[in-house]
């Protein structure tokens, strides 16, 4: 009889321990490798709120939070800059971690509805992000005509464009 109670208690403790599967197996912070072609570009990591959360140069590794809040994954914009090259922006978006669904199998309602969504452990970020800066932009001489593609302009420059009739 005593053996049966011990086994039952052990099973209950195991179930309680698995209440937040993604938070136990995964994490809410992920190292992301940042590279560019060519290497040596400076980059900024900007969160959904528009706050720069990291600055560095490529190649580099940055640790980022995968969640923004309760049931909200984080999205980052990485802005790459290198002298002589056009700036580039890349979106880095979180996705639901596969371990989050293990809560269903183990009956972890608390983990599924509270722990993992609140800690951000239900989300995962990609392991790496990269940007191709393209061809170097020829340096223009003062007062010289410079022809560029609209894709080489940043949003502020695009806002200054005037349509010709």
- How wide is the angle at C-alpha 128 spanned by C-alphas 125 and 133, nearest 5°? 125
Q: Please report the pLDDT score of residue 13 as a whole number.
A: 47
Tokens 């940007």 locate to 131
Do 99 and 146 touch, CB atoms closer than 8 A? no
pLDDT reading at 14 higher than 70:
no
pLDDT tens, residue by residue, 40-76: 999 999 998 999 999 999 999 999 877 765 556 778 9
Q: Please report the pLDDT score of residue 78 as a whole number.
A: 96
> What's the rounded mean pLDDT across residues 3-23?
49
Quote the CA–CA distance of 62 and 114 in Å, as a whole number.
27
Pick from 56-65, 88-97, 112-121: least confident: 112-121
What's the predicted TM-score (pTM) here? Answer: 0.60
Q: Please report the pLDDT score of residue 140 as a whole number.
A: 42
**Domain residue limits, the chain:** 2-136
With CA atoms as reference, report the closest residue to 76 among 66, 85, 84, 86. 66
pLDDT reading at 3 higher than 70:
no
């Amino acid at each position: 009889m005593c053996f049966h109670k011990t086994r039952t208690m052990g099973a209950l403790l195991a179930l309680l321990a698995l209440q937040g599967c993604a938070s136990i197996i995964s994490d809410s912070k992920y190292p992301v490798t940042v590279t560019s072609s060519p290497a040596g570009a400076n980059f900024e990591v900007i969160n959904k709120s528009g706050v720069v959360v990291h600055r560095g140069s490529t190649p580099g590794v940055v640790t980022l939070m995968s969640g923004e809040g309760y049931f909200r994954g984080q999205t980052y914009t990485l802005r790459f800059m290198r002298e002589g090259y056009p700036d580039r922006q890349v979106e880095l978006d979180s996705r639901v971690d596969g371990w989050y669904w293990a809560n269903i199998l183990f009956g972890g309602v608390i983990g599924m509805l509270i722990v993992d969504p609140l800690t951000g452990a239900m989300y995962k970020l990609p392991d790496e992000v990269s940007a191709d800066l393209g061809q170097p932009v020829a340096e223009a001489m003062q007062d010289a005509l410079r022809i560029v593609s609209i894709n080489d302009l940043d949003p502020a420059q695009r806002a200054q464009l005037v349509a010709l009739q």
